[in-house]
Amino acid sequence: MKRTPGRSEPISFGHAYAQSETFRALFQDGMSLVEETANYLDGDGRNAAKTLTRPASIVYATESMRLTTRLMQLASWLLLHRSVNDGDMTIAQATEEKRKIRLEQLATNMDGPGWNNLPEDFKALVSRSLALQKRVEQIDASLLDEVLGELTTNPVADQIQELARAIDQKF
């Protein structure tokens, strides 16, 4: 956690990040990608899928499911953090809801049989979703480290506080 000169309380990275322009940009990028992907899969992607060879068609169907699942999990994460920031949800509620979100990577083999025959627009959407997922996972790990750091006691800090109280009582 960062400390600001003159402040005795640490600044919460999670709280500061959720209110930052960086988060707003990430939120906008993520939601735009969800919308763009939905439009593609319902339009140009549906038409392109009809022309694929059987192996590429199987890869397309599998990766489409992975892509939509990945994006729905990412959108849930983004909406959850925005809800806390907007005051629509408490941190405790968000923590409970976050248990339902799975950010772990869904295996995507971007060079296996059939992959090279997929439409370039589709492959670009998969790539962008994986990049977004990586960004969100890094932020989520930082937030988790912060929460765990707050929950973990520091025996040295506890001893220093005990000593300070003892000294204050004698003077």
Per-residue model confidence as pLDDT tens digits over 131-150: 999 999 888 887 765 555 54
| CATH dotted code for 13-170 | 1.10.8.930
Q: Is 2 left (phi over 0), alpha (psi -120 to 50) or beta?
A: beta
Task: Please answer whether residues 44 and 121 qualify as being in contact, where contact means their C-beta atoms are separated by less than 8 angstroms.
Answer: yes
Q: Is the pLDDT of residue 12 over 60?
A: no
Residue 160 has pLDDT above 80, yes or no: no
Residue 74: band (very low, low, confident or very high) from pLDDT cuts 50, 70, 90: very high
Residues 43, 49: Cα–Cα separation, whole Å:
10
